[in-house]
Chains A and B, each alone.
Chain A
Amino acid sequence: MKRIHIKTCVGAALMSLFLVGCSDLLNETPRSSFTPEYFKTQPGVMGGLTYMYSHLRGIYGQAYYYNSCETGTDESTYGQSADGNFKDFDLTGVGSMTSNNFPMTVLWNATFPNINTANGVIEYGTTSGVSDALLSEARFFRAFDYFLLVQTFGGVPLDLGAGELKFNTSTSRVSKRNTVPEVYTKAIFPDMLLAIKNLPDAGRVTGGATKTLARLYLAKAYLTYGWWLQNPKNIPTYPTCDRTDPDGHNAAWYFQKAYDYAVEGIQNAGGNFALQSTFYDVNVGTNDRNKEILLYADHTQTSELYNGGTSLTGFGSGAAPDNFAGWMQNWSYTAITSSKTNWSSPSLVSSVQREAAQALGRPWTRMAPPINVINNTFADKSNDSRYDGTFTTVYRGNWAKGGVTNATLYNANGMQVANGDAILSFLGSEPAQPIDYSNSVYKSSIGAGVLPGRADFVLPPSGISRRVFPGLWKLGPYRTDNGVGLGSPNAGSTRPYNIAKFSELFFIAAEAAVKGATTKAITGTYANDGSAYSLINILRARAGKWKFSNANNATLVADNSATLVAATPTTITLDYILAERSREYYGEGYRWYDLVRTQTWADYAKTYQICGNNYGDHTPVTYTRTIPDNYYLRPIPQGQLDGLEMTADEKKAYQNPAYQQ
């Protein structure tokens, strides 16, 4: 017995000495995360591709980047609660554009990791035999990111440290910017062409990249590059280079290609993509992911994790990957008051409460529409459905959902209103009668006025201020889990953020035509003679069709197509296209790029009118923006410069000229 015990122990001791030396002790096997080697497998490639889509959330729906696309254009200015991020971009002397402006960091920091992941997927996937269709998704997104970058910053590096368009696993901290033509001709065009060749007609996944999508982007890239080569306003580029095409083509050639690919996109969409029958249908939350949308940064209310991580019910983070762009140009409508009791001894109550509804949502009052948008861009508010399909112009009572039990409340003129009735209306035009802004008896609490006989408070276009303005209905939240209450209005929007639309193919073809491309008859669903006039009229005809009125919160079936088409000028100009684009895509983040591409930013955004920051400010003030030519390129973010291991002079030269100190 004792002997056995001794032997066991001796054996154990010997083993301990042996095993302690076991080389396994110094080897590593990760068991909870992947290394870059994973991209050599098919599931790894799929994971890389999923990231290509999810990286869109870092850009689209990210409100600060969104702000950079709108504030400072004719579409938006800063709102009363605007922080420096917004004021800096307004260019009216309330801030300044520097390399420290956060919004540009958003784009820069979201794109390069994706470009490198795309490089890895393409490089590893090619050697391990992954299909061309899959790899073309990576090609599409690589080109997509480079296209965004080149429009925003000018030339950007194609070599991340391992060679041009190569997967970088080196730890290089130097960087050299390529020129604009290099970025287009070496990266964007070849990738897009391959993508068009290899991508499927219908997406591999819901919202997946398709031939039509790649055609839209190639057409737009050709159009943009055509403008760049032509450079009619002599806007400087950077890094400095000649405006000659390495591939030997001229601007006209690219305008023609833009036209051709856009038309090809329109004609070959098949059953996969189509215009919606009304403008309302394009943007209403119930119809998200409709056939008009070619690309979106998707979101969901069904899973917090897959939606990106922050609370679906509490306060959204106010950071990517949340979709929170819609909070910015939304004002604090909850300040509107009605009274529970007769106005002779009022008991104020918030009659429009914060609700997760498309017309309402979370208000940050960071951006506001200038009065010019209401009066000029959307001059026709009755025939053209796009004003009604863009803005919340009537704020309706929802106090019952917020737990206030009164069946009716006292509102303007002492009239009683019920839940669902209009509490505040933004008028489409200046009323003939004078508005009583006194708020002496009927306290709107927001400085809104009273018109005789109306139960709702009112504000005319001239009363639009940085603080009180029509909200942006398009980007409002839509959820199905509100029950009978107000829902979760503070979470990030669970709607997909739309990035690219089928309708834009018409605009691109029309713009290319205006720039001199030879037109040709278009066949199929959208058959027409292919002229700019006909292409634009397809969208204007659609804009005349109504099925629902947001202002009335009621069905409204009408067809004003003929009226709208009749109003279209027979000669389409660039100005007309830009005006139409704004009506179609107002507040969606297109504007800065449209104005920069067409070199019209300084002209279009030069001045705007809006009332002040305070309730009761009803006097429009004209503001003037200073937009130097070299602001057409945005500053390279300071974080990039700080992260580089280069001399001060080299870093200075890396920055765009307007922001070199």
Chain B
Amino acid sequence: MCNSILIKLCKLLILISNYLIMKQTISCLRAPGILFLLLLFSISVFGQTITVKGTVKDATNATLPGVNVRMHGSSTGTITDIDGKFSLQVPSNAKLEFSFVGYASQVINVAGKSTINVTLAEDTKALSEVVVVGYGTQRREAVTGSVASMNGDKLRDVPAANISRALQGRIAGVEMSQTDSKPGSGMQIRIRGTRSLNATNDPLVVLDGIPFSGSIGDIDPNTIKSVDILKDASATAIYGSRGANGVILVTTSKGSKGQSAQFSYNGYFGVKTAIKFPMMNGSEFAAMRKMTTYANTLDEADDVNTDWQDLLFRTGVVQNHNLNLSGGTDKGNYNFGASYFRDQAVIPLQYYNRYSIHSSLDQEVGKLIKVGFTTNSIYSENHGNNLGSGGALGASPIANPYNADGTWKTIIQQQTSGSQWVFTRHALESLGEQYVDLTRGFSSYNSAYGEVKIPGVEGLKARVNVGADYIQSNYGNYTGVGVFSGSVTNPSTASIRNSHTLKWTVENLLTFDRTFNKLHRVNAVAMYSAEKSTYWTSNTTAKNIPADAFQFYNIGQCNSADITINPANQNYIESGLTSAMGRVMYSFNDRYMLSATVRTDGSSRLAPGHKWHTYPAISAGWNMKDEAFMQSVTFIDRLKLRAGYGETSNQSVDPYKTLGLLATSPYNFGDNTYATGYYVSQLPNPKLGWEFSRTWNFGMDFTLLKSRLTGTVEYYVQNTDNVLLSVSLPPTSGANSYMANIGATQNKGLEVSLNGVVLDNVNGWTWEVGLNVYTNKNKLTKLASGAQQDLGNGWFVGHAVNVIYDYKKLGLWNTTDPDFKYLQTLQPGGNAGMIKVLYTGEYNADGSPKRAIGPDDRQILDCDPDFQGGFNTRVAYKNFDLSLVGSFVSGGILNSTLYGGTGYLNNMNTRATNNVKVDYWTPTNTGAKYPKPAGLQSGDNPMYATTLGYFSASYLKVRTITLGYNFNQKWLQSAGISKMRIYATVENPFVLFSPYHNESGMDPEPNSFGDQNVAVAGAHSRLIVGTNTPSTHNYLIGLNVTF
């Protein structure tokens, strides 16, 4: 009941956006009292020879207190008082420098004058650096937490469909990993590493102030004004538990006040070519087959050489078009835009289309009230997502796809796998109505606010934010008779899946923002909020569809026996969160800053009695350069030190984890009597509570050499306790797992970002360089009951969460090895040319090993990189600019299942599929990296085949190179064009220093989760290289025009 009223209420609130609500809200708020924090700082004053006095004012003739007045080239100085007045003793020939945050500095010769009055002009560049910090903005100088920002234009230097792709490698401490190479797919985002083992590590995305329930990929990069990333706990504390993994604040463009209407077009068009997987050609495969016991099928011949990848991949096309209109009046502003994005993959029939519109409006009503809304609606189509490269990679290169008469075969015989559908571009494109695999998504993200200034209390505002999101996804699949099957009569199948997410958020805020005496800035926020998210999904499958034309549109036409509604595929999830928060930010003279936050959260996901948690955060900043003693250090323009401590919590377990779960197990009693069985798959945990982290963050921001070099260095330590884990149980407990608060993790890291201007308009040349490097050391510090390791889950105290526990490959066994005589002891049934792994057992007196190699010999292999980062550079000459964005990773393990045991593409026995092209052992090639074909096996793979998939993850990669030209010719203005730019971009042009790339020619980034695009699924959380849609080289041209 509570539910339906709330939903109605939400709708009502969105519709109303009426100032009366705001008035009412204030009186109802149960906000904590607003705190005023006052700090006293001693101000030292120095004097000499003559006394100079004066007043500093701004352009509006208002006096400016707190302005630095300093003798140029010395540490002598003072600051202006409350009335903007100063008095200073200096040599009569001195120069005085006046500087104040947000204003352009001025240097004035004293030249014996005893009175100097100064008017400081606003520094528009400095003022524009406003950072979004959540429930408010702050000027960059005043920020005390760890906040990284990127404005929309910079972001769009990398033309990408997805914000996270555009950000990849560009912000220190923010790791964006590719999880899928298909069009329209998202990225895995990790801010300062992994802290949770089973709970989510995904950051919170906040769109225009409201927590965003969609995927970050739903946000059109064209609409973005800025992205601000809150990295440490003192910055994220205001978002409480939801911000435990960092917060990405996305602000969309709005018109500015009083701005005349502006119309712009941004677009690009490009082609993509596949980076092929390194498979064997016909003769290579035939040669390997000779070393095995497998014979050719009737469709295979040693002299055939079919490149199935060439027969499959096409040239992909990507395009993006965006129209935007923005403007402002003296009391408001607006922004409307529409975008179209299409990404056509190199795999035929696979594409992603996105249509989006957005609008936002802010309007002041009278003197006290302001209302506004933002709405983003997206419709997307994702087709052919179930297609991959696997069919082409696995196909036998000595199988001929053509009949004797030159026509295409539809089926070929392969070795052990038998008849196979011929998976080619021709075959896919000929399917017509026989195949569809389409997800149509519609999502609408809406937020509205009303804000009222409380009369009588200057700076006090009440605000209500209401967010309401609706996301729906409609999936339909149809596969006609015989399609993708080795049997031409294989029945047709269809399935539909519908899922819906409904989410509402209500936030009541009181803010107090005021500067006292121009020196004391106070910003206080109190908030009370509630949110609820409901997700439900349904799924139906059927076979023997009566006609191709029906596809999945009327499954009801099938025989009822052919229709399946699997209870395991229907789902309903609901969760609620309610919170109260208070934050005070205080700054004295923009020199000393302090921010304190307290938040309490209650979550439905946790067990009764453990639902609530309260946590504090505090941080301080010191703009050191403003101190008198720093004045003489002239090469430093700005220097700020920051320190913060904060706690955050994580409740991100799936709902209902405290209750235990019965899994379903359908069964038939006789041929057609059906029943559903239930068994305990997950045990209840009535004690499931919050996981929480304590973070220390230390940062330094600096600007050097007349703003030619700016940078940030940060160090953090984050300790996470009561880590939420899905604990695998030994089978004898009768259940698979349970969710619990067990263990502790630690993340320590160092982040450095540097931006330099090497050439600042020297003969028309400008050259800028940016670099970020970061490292995160992740460590498990505690496991359940003091255990040092948990082999079932692959967790080891003192090691990173992301480790592989496997044998360590030393090389291959050769008859010349001194220990070859022990091969049969170490490896019963072993052969020369098989993989040799580390033996850690004991030896007998005669030097022989005491036992065979076994599970105890497995080693912990750390997968995390040592450090990583990104770089960018931009060279401009007159109207031309050339920019380059790249990223790098050093160390760590890349797991390529093409080479390892789970992909079935490196079986080394030619049993069915083609083999990755590898240098393998033969009696005459004993120094090879890969084992002897058809040697000792474990399963279908060479013994220890998994070790073949581990590569160094190091790489340096140029992501994009863009050459642009900005028009500023006269004719533009006469055509009403205020800005126009054309550019050409190459994406993914080259890779350096990557052992994996060097061997395979492939992209050194993962393209799949561990349980995807492989023959044998591994752990989902481990990213791998699998048989996904191949990476591509992209070539784009683009145009930006503003009228």
Contact = CB atoms under 8 A, between A and B. Distances in A.
Interface string A374-398: 0000000000000000000000000
B663 to A, nearest CB: 8
B472 interface: no
A169 B683 contact: yes
A215 B157 CA distance: 77
Interface residues of B, number: 122
Interface string B521-552: 00000001110100010000101000000000
Most buried by B among A16, A44, A85, A321: A16
Interface string B599-610: 000111100000
Interface residues of A, number: 130
Contacts of A84: 936-939, 943
A160 B732 contact: yes
A364 interface: yes
A314 B420 CA distance: 11
A275 to B, nearest CB: 21
Interface in B697-749: 727-736, 738, 740
A20 B792 contact: no
Interface in A477-494: 483, 485-488, 490
Contacts of B293: 80, 467, 613-614
A310 to B, nearest CB: 12
Most buried by A among B12, B577, B666: B666
A556 interface: no
A12 B21 contact: yes
Interface in B583-605: 602-605
A102 B854 CA distance: 14
Interface stretch (A32-40, A125-133, A406-414, A590-598): A32-40
Contacts of A116: 680, 733-735
Interface string B479-501: 00000011111110000000000
A173 B729 contact: yes
Nearest to B673: A206
A6 B564 CA distance: 52
B419 A645 contact: no
B971 interface: no
A15 B734 contact: no
A363 B464 CA distance: 68
Interface in B1-56: 1-3, 5-6, 9, 12-13, 16, 18, 20-21, 24-25, 28-29
A558 interface: no
B578 interface: yes
A485 B489 contact: yes
B939 A83 contact: yes
Interface in A445-468: 445, 467
A112 B665 contact: no
A47 B678 contact: yes
Contact of A36 (B13, B541, B684, B740): B684
A53 interface: yes
A19 interface: yes
Interface stretch (A23-31, A185-193, A225-233): A23-31
Given A25-B532, A298-B668, A302-B672, A112 B943 contact: no
A298 B667 contact: yes
Nearest to B856: A661
A48 B677 contact: yes
A290 B856 CA distance: 49
B28 A17 contact: yes
B489 to A, nearest CB: 5
Contact of B729 (A206, A350, A354, A643): A643
B574 A28 contact: yes
B24 A54 contact: no
B21 A9 contact: yes
Interface string A85-115: 1010000011110111010000011001111
A661 B853 CA distance: 10
A268 interface: no
A374 B671 CA distance: 34
B829 A95 contact: yes
Where chain A touches its partner, the secondary structure class is: loop
Contacts of A362: 418
A641 B673 contact: no
A306 B668 contact: yes
A515 interface: no
Nearest to B665: A54
Contact of A304 (B25, B508, B543, B680): B543
Interface stretch (A65-73, A332-340, A528-536): A332-340
A33 B792 contact: no
Given A52-B677, A490-B418, A10 B24 contact: yes
Contacts of A302: 561, 668, 671-672
B426 interface: no
Contacts of B677: 47-55
Contact of A51 (B20, B679, B841): B679
B671 A300 contact: yes
Nearest to A349: B298
Contacts of B658: 28
Interface in A1-20: 6, 9-10, 12-17, 19-20
Nearest to B532: A25
A657 interface: no
A332 B416 CA distance: 8
A605 B845 CA distance: 35
Most buried by A among B29, B567, B735: B735
B201 interface: no
A257 interface: no
Contacts of B683: 36, 168-171
Given A80-B293, A642-B792, A306 B666 contact: yes
A94 B936 CA distance: 8
Contacts of A54: 665-667, 677
A31 B20 contact: no
Contact of B5 (A19, A93, A169, A300): A19
B128 interface: no
Contacts of B611: 26
A98 B2 contact: no
A120 interface: yes
B731 A113 contact: yes
Given A20-B528, A36-B680, A112 B734 contact: yes
B855 A98 contact: yes
Interface stretch (B103-111, B349-357, B783-791, B949-957): B783-791
B678 A171 contact: no
Interface string B924-945: 0000000000001111110100
Given A85-B939, A486-B487, A35 B734 contact: no
A643 B611 CA distance: 29
A313 B490 CA distance: 6
A561 interface: no
A644 B576 CA distance: 35
B16 A12 contact: yes
B854 A98 contact: yes
Interface string B290-322: 000101011000000000000000000000000
B730 A644 contact: yes
Contacts of A53: 667, 669, 677
The 5 closest A-B pairs by CB, nearest first: A116-B734, A51-B677, A206-B670, A642-B791, A643-B730
13 contacts: A24-B1, A30-B659, A33-B661, A36-B660, A36-B661, A51-B665, A51-B667, A117-B679, A156-B732, A298-B667, A301-B671, A302-B561, A637-B731
Interface of A: 6, 9-10, 12-17, 19-22, 24-36, 38-39, 44, 46-55, 57, 80-81, 83-85, 87, 93-96, 98-100, 102, 108-109, 112-117, 119-120, 156-157, 160-161, 168-173, 175, 205-208, 289, 298-309, 313-315, 321, 332, 334-335, 337, 348-350, 354, 362-365, 403, 445, 467, 483, 485-488, 490, 613-615, 637-645, 661
Given A13-B20, A47-B676, 8 more contacts: A28-B574, A30-B659, A96-B828, A114-B679, A120-B680, A169-B683, A173-B730, A303-B561
